[in-house]
């Protein structure tokens, strides 16, 4: 019984695959990034709740500028110099 409780506790701590790996999946609009004070990311992502800086080494984000899409992205960092969270885009769906 004690081992079962410990195993359950460890499973809860690891997040059970519920996004604790800092991966997001959200709908919003991708825009080209201009000059910023925080100086990271090539594009931005906005929706009613969030604003993120983005980059991708596998997807050409320019193809999606000014389009509403669903992105899947992994957190790079929480934001520097007062800037937004910074994500690496791994998948985009129209």
Question: Into how many domains does the chain fold?
Answer: 1
Q: Quick check: is 50 in a domain?
A: yes
Neighbours of 71 (CB within 10 A): 24
pTM above 0.95, yes or no: no
pLDDT digits (tens, 9 = 90+) for 22-67: 999 999 999 999 999 999 999 999 999 999 999 999 999 999 999 9
Q: What is the pLDDT of residue 21?
A: 80
Q: SS3 of 27, please?
A: strand
> How far apart (Å, rounded) are the C-alpha atoms in residues 41 and 10?
35
Assigned domain for 4 exists: no
Domain housing 89: 19-93
91: left (phi over 0), alpha (psi -120 to 50) or beta: beta
pLDDT 10s digits, 6-22: 443 443 333 333 345 89
Q: CATH number for the domain including 32?
A: 2.40.50.140
Note the pLDDT tens digit of each residue in 74-90.
999 999 988 999 999 99
């Amino acid at each position: 019984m004690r081992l079962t409780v410990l195993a359950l506790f460890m499973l809860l701590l690891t997040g059970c695959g519920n996004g604790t790996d800092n991966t997001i999946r959200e709908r919003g609009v991708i825009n080209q990034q201009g000059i910023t004070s925080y100086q990271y990311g090539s594009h931005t992502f906005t929706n009613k709740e969030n604003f993120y800086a983005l980059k991708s080494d596998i997807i050409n984000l320019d193809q999606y500028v000014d389009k509403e899409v669903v992105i899947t992205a992994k957190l790079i960092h929480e934001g520097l110099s007062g800037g937004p969270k910074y994500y690496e885009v791994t998948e985009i769906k129209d």
